[in-house]
């Protein structure tokens, strides 16, 4: 039986997929998961899930007809908009290198 192993690197962090393993039952899966992902202090917590319990979604694409970036869980990136605004400002000021003379701002998201 195949098991998927998820590991948490530090407390409070999200669990991430570590890999999969094959084991005859859950007890063996636990032992092997500890062995492969736990014994060098690389994980603070582990989840083991039988692969058959994982539902694979065939066609995850949902058509994004309208611009609703603001609804995205990661917020919408202002990097592109900021770049456009700077270019526009530089153009209207007639100084193409104005961008470089300012301290660089790394703001990425709202």
Partner 1 sequence: MSDRSTAERLLELADDELLIGWRNSEWTGIAPFLEEDVAFSSIAQGEIGHARAFYELAAQELGTDADTLAFDREPEEYRSAPLVELRLVPDWARTIARHWLYETADAIRVTALEESSSSEVAGLAAKIEREEAYHRMHADMWAERLRESAERKRFEAAVEELWPYSLGILPDSQREEFRATVGETLGLPLPDAEPFERGVHTDDFFPLWEEMTSVRRSVAGASW
Chain residues binding partner 1 by CB under 8 A are 21-24, 27-28, 31-32, 34-36, 39
- CA pair distance 29, 3, nearest whole angstrom: 7
Of 27 and 65, which CB lies nearer to partner 1 in the complex structure?
27
Least distance to partner 1, CB of residue 19, Å: 11
Give how far the C-alpha of residue 60 lies from the chain's centroid of Cα atoms, to the nearest Å: 16
The minimum distance between CB 3 and partner 1, in angstroms, equals 10
Nearer to partner 1, 41 or 101 (CB): 41
At closest approach, how far in Å is the CB of 42 from partner 1?
14
- Residues 37, 15: contact at Cβ < 8 Å? no
Of 50 and 110, nearer to partner 1 (C-beta) is 50
- Cα 35 to Cα 5, 9, 24, 32, 46, distances in angstroms: 12, 15, 16, 5, 11
């Amino acid at each position: 039986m195949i098991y998927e192993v998820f590991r948490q690197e530090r407390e409070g962090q999200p669990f991430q997929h570590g890999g999969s393993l094959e084991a005859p039952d859950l007890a063996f899966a636990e032992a092997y998961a500890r062995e492969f992902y736990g014994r060098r202090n690389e994980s603070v917590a582990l989840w083991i899930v039988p692969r058959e319990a994982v539902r694979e979604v065939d066609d995850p694409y949902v058509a994004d007809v309208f611009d609703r970036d603001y609804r995205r869980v990661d917020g919408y990136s202002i990097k592109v908009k900021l770049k456009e605004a700077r270019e526009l400002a530089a153009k209207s000021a007639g100084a193409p290198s104005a961008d470089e003379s300012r301290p660089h701002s790394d703001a990425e998201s709202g």
